[in-house]
Structures are given as C-alpha cells and as structure tokens.
C-alpha cells in the first residue's frame, strides 16, 4: 500500500505484527526481507482509508506471512475488555509509536505481539517478499551486527520475549471483531 499522506510532515497510520513461536527450546521471531528497504522487518503495513487498524493487521499477516488470525494468540497485558453496542472493540497494542520513515514523512504504528499456535495456512501474496525467516534472539544479534535488520525490530522482539511472555495473557486473536460498527450512536 502506498503512503496515503505525501506532504512533508504528514503521518500515515501503520500496524505491526510481532509474531513469535517456540522452536525446540527457544523462542523464534518472524521477520521478512522488505523488498524496497532490503532490511528484515516485522510483518505489517499501512492502514487503508476504508479499514480499521485491526482489519489492516489481519490483512497484513495474511498478505505478508500467510497467517490467519485463527492461527495466532494475541499477547495482551490484562483480561479487561470494554464492550459497547456503539463501537467495535480492538485489542490493546503492546506499543504505539511514531517514527520517522523518511526525511519528511512519519508513521504512527500500532504494534501487536502474537504467538503462533499453528503453521500458516497460506503463503505471502503476489508482490510480497517470500524471504521469511524465524530468528532466535541470537540470530537477531547477528543480523544487527550485519546491519541486515532494523534495530528497533530486534529490540521490540527482545522485549516481547524477555518481558511480555509469561506475564501477558495469550488470547485467540480471532476474538476481536473484523467488522465495522453496526450501530450509530444516538
């Protein structure tokens, strides 16, 4: 998806999926080689003008990694879920950050952490990178030294593995609605 906002100083809304799984006795982290940036990144991308952030996330994990939400457990900090007839509830991200994408353009990113409970049912979509890798933290350290991975991607995965797993609750990612609100507030 191209940038929606193209004027200097504007921000695009993006979503990121940091997906981990157990491989033998170690945690491994899903990254892919970004075709334009030529760096290893987490799965994710732009929120389209006609979709919610959660819809964008579901689309991105399928397009870039072949995962459906039903194969992922979302790591959430607590079990409190707000409900309403007037809005669709989205899960809490592990991080909301704004970063500089280019000299004059920014991304405001909602980052989510997942544990893969199954293999993906699909493959990356047409035009997407097929260079998908599962890296341990040790592998990521080597990728950082080789300047092959974006540093904040490695740092975020390290925080997820060392600080979130075992503390955050894992809930089925498919728990959260992909629908638009059906009731208009009075």
Question: Which H helix or E strand runs over 20?
Answer: strand 11-23
Contacts of 140 by beta carbon, 8 Å cutoff, 6+ apart: 29, 149, 154, 157, 158
pLDDT value for 29: 98
Up-side HSE of residue 112: CA atoms within 13 Å toward CB? 33
| Residue 75 covered by a domain | yes
Does 45 score more than 70 pLDDT? Answer: yes
pLDDT in tens, 111-139: 999 999 988 989 999 989 999 999 999 99
pLDDT value for 118: 86
Is the sign of the CA dihedral 18, 63, 117, 40 positive or negative?
A: negative
| Residue 127 covered by a domain | yes
User: How many domains does the structure of the chain reveal?
Assistant: 1
| Residue 36 covered by a domain | yes
| Residue 186 covered by a domain | no
Q: By residue range, what is the domain housing residue 77?
A: 11-175
Contacts of 124 by beta carbon, 8 Å cutoff, 6+ apart: 32, 63, 64, 65, 66, 130, 132
Where does the pLDDT of residue 148 fall: very low under 50, low under 70, confident under 90, or very high at 90 and above?
very high
Q: Looking at residue 51, which CATH number applies to its domain?
A: 3.90.79.10
Does 25 score more than 70 pLDDT? Answer: yes
| Residue 116 covered by a domain | yes
């Amino acid at each position: 998806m191209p940038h929606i906002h193209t004027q200097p100083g504007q921000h695009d809304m993006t979503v990121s999926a940091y997906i981990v799984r157990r491989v033998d006795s170690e945690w491994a982290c899903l990254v892919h080689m970004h075709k334009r940036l030529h760096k290893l990144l987490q799965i994710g991308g732009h929120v389209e003008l006609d979709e919610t952030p959660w819809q964008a996330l579901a689309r991105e994990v399928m397009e870039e990694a072949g995962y459906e939400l039903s194969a992922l457990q979302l790591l959430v900090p607590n079990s409190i879920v707000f409900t309403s007839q007037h809005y669709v509830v989205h899960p809490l991200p592990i991080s909301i950050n704004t970063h500089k994408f280019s000299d004059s353009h920014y991304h405001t990113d909602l980052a989510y952490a997942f544990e893969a409970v199954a293999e993906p049912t699909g493959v990356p979509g047409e035009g997407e990178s097929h260079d998908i890798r599962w890296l341990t933290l040790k592998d990521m350290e080597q990728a950082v030294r080789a300047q092959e991975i974006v540093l904040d991607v490695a740092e975020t995965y390290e925080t997820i593995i060392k600080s979130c797993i075992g503390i955050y609750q894992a809930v089925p990612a498919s728990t959260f609605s992909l629908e638009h609100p059906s009731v208009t507030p009075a």
